[in-house]
Amino acid sequence: MPPPEALARFQTLLHSALTEGSLIKLTLGKPRPVPHHSSLKNVFARPVVLKAGPRISLVYRYETRDETKNLQPAEAAAALADLLSSAFLDAHLFTSQQTAQLEQNADPAQPARLRLVASKNAPSGHPPGHDRAKRHLLDPAAPWLRALGVTNDRAQPREGMAHKFRQIEKFAELLRDLLAEAGLDTSTPDALPLHIADMGAGKGYLTFALAALLGARATITGLERRADLVAAANRLATETGFSSHLRFVEGDIPVAPAPVAPLDILIALHACDTATDDALAAGLAAGARLLVVSPCCQKELRPQLTAPAVLADALRHGIFQERQTEFVTDALRAQLLECAGFRTKVFEFISTEHTAKNLLIAAHRIHATEDPAFAAQRTRLLSRARAFAAFYGIREHRLARHLGVDLTS
Ligand SMILES: C[S@@+](CC[C@H](N)C(=O)[O-])C[C@H]1O[C@@H](n2cnc3c(N)ncnc32)[C@H](O)[C@@H]1O
């Protein structure tokens, strides 16, 4: 039986995208109800440049594992055409000219739908794959940047959004470096999939940046308490082809001991006051190996902070009290993460000229907390954190409470 018209047109588009080099990415989803493919959930395709030359990388995502095959474009076209007609109902194709979305029906008597949208997914002349990723970490022409109001249709920052654009770019650069430091690099074809949560995701600027940076190898969940932001971000994820690996969920950052799904990376940027501690604790409980937070509105410790005598005069000034509270709160967070077996870095991730909320705490796991070889070091680190807290009169700190650390003992 000849393929239905929508499927045939989609296969022609896919074949041209693969052989002419305009493919940005393809996602196959919604498995057909056939038993022999039952544990295959998705297939993702994207161009890569390997030592052997340009290839199409196909990631077969099964229930519990991923398999990667790097094929010549013509071989990939044949494999994907076969998967489309035998194993999957839905397909989402992104090329430098357009996006095409195919929705087939499990009942062959029902017609399939094909939607085509012209796009500027990639400026012409960019080499594909790893090479392209190095030169343009985030594509300024990406539809998600435009839809979020960051760039215009000439791929330039819109008026008043240059700082946001820079912040997003900087964040992507930082994350790439932090992933490499933590041994979580995703750029090799055999890299394991990563599970990431961005807690307090807001409109999702930085969540989308992560999805664009890491591609389908990372499954990203943006958690946000505002239903309107969640609905808008999910809509955008679908429209821009990210929905197979990026979703937004409405809810509050879980407060321990609420159960949390396993995670590799926890991100919480500008989650107010103790929401940062709750997010860190949720990441630790979920087994995250990399924690990245940008704290703000540190209020918790202010009523407890007693100035050491020598600082009393300086701390009569409100602004110094505020800065002192921020410093003590975040310094203790960093120390407590070290006590939990993490190597911690604290730095400004973008100049204060762009935003005052620019401190980043990044921590990656180097010891299992229960590792006997870490026990003596942990005891020393804990006693230093307690001495620091005592110096500033701090008895309670939300992260310490989450970690079961009594700062006064
Ligand atoms: C300042 S915005 C930051 C958004 C985003 N992370 C960024 O840096 O662009 C903080 C977001 O966190 C959300 N939020 C604050 N506390 C939260 C909580 N406990 N649970 C879930 N979301 C929370 C707010 O609704 C808001 O959208």
Does the Cβ of 253 fall within 6 Å of ligand 1? yes
| Residue 215: DSSP 8-state | G
Pick the more confident residue, 373 or 120.
373
Q: Is 224 buried (19+), middle (13-18) or exposed (0-12) by CB count in 10 A?
A: buried
Residue 350, ligand 1, Cβ within 6 A? no
Terminal-residue alpha carbon distance, the chain: 77
User: What is the residue with the minimal CA distance to atom 20 of ligand 1?
Assistant: 252
Give the per-residue pLDDT at 122.
Answer: 42
CA of 141 to the centre of ligand 1 (A): 26
Which residue owns the Cα nearest ligand 1 atom 2?
Answer: 202
Ligand 1 probe mutation, 205, 260, 270, most atoms within 8 A of CB: 270
State in Å: Cα 2 to ligand 1 middle: 51
Confidence of residue 132 (pLDDT cuts 50, 70, 90): very low
DSSP 79-93: HHHHHHHHTEEEEEE
| Residue ranges of domains in the chain | 5-118, 129-402
State whether the beta carbon of 226 lies less than 6 angstroms from ligand 1.
yes
How high is the pLDDT of residue 130?
A: 41
Which atom in ligand 1 lies closest to the alpha carbon of residue 226?
A: 25
Which of 163, 272, 297, 298 should be mutated for ligand 1, with most atoms under 8 A from CB? 272
Q: How far is the CA of 109 from the centre of ligand 1 (A)?
A: 46
Q: What is the pLDDT of residues 232-249, one digit of tens each?
A: 999 999 988 899 999 999
Flag whether pLDDT at 39 surpasses 90. Answer: no
Assign domain 129-402 to its CATH architecture.
Answer: 3-Layer(aba) Sandwich (3.40)
Q: Band of the pLDDT at 3, cuts 50, 70, 90?
A: low
The minimum-distance atom of ligand 1 relative to the CA of 201 is 6
Which pLDDT does position 134 carry in this prediction?
40
Instruction: Return the pLDDT at 99.
Output: 84
What's phi and psi for 253, nearest 5 deg? -55, 125
The predicted structure's pLDDT at residue 20: 66
* pLDDT (0 to 100) of residue 352: 54
From the CB of 270, is ligand 1 less than 6 Å away?
yes
- Joined together, the tokens standing for residue 371 give 């590792």
> Quick count: other Cβ atoms within 10 Å of Cβ 144?
25
Distance from C-alpha of 104 to C-alpha of 114, rounded to nearest angstrom: 9
Residue minimizing CA distance to atom 8 of ligand 1: 269
Q: Distance between CA 213 and CA 352 in Å, rounded?
A: 25
Coil, strand, or helix at residue 200?
Answer: coil
List the beta strands (DSSP E) in 185-305.
194-199, 218-224, 246-250, 265-272, 290-296
| Any atom of ligand 1 within 6 Å of the Cβ of 271 | yes
- Cβ 275 under 6 angstroms from ligand 1: yes
Ligand 1 center to 149 CA (angstroms): 19
Q: Look up residue 118 and give its two tokens.
A: 């012209």
> Residue 229 CA: which ligand 1 atom is closest?
27
pLDDT of residue 351: 58
Q: What values do phi and psi take at 234, rounded to 5? A: -65, -35
Rounded to the nearest angstrom, the distance between the alpha carbon of 153 and the centre of ligand 1 is 28
279 lines ligand 1 (CB under 6 A): no
Q: What is the pLDDT confidence band of residue 154, given thresholds at 50, 70 and 90?
A: confident
Q: Ligand 1: distance of its center to the CA of 368 in Å?
A: 29
201 pocket-lining for ligand 1 (C-beta < 6 Å): yes
For residue 190, pLDDT over 90 is answered with no
Q: Would the pLDDT of 217 be above 90?
A: no
Q: In this predicted model, which residue has the larger pLDDT, 327 or 18? A: 327
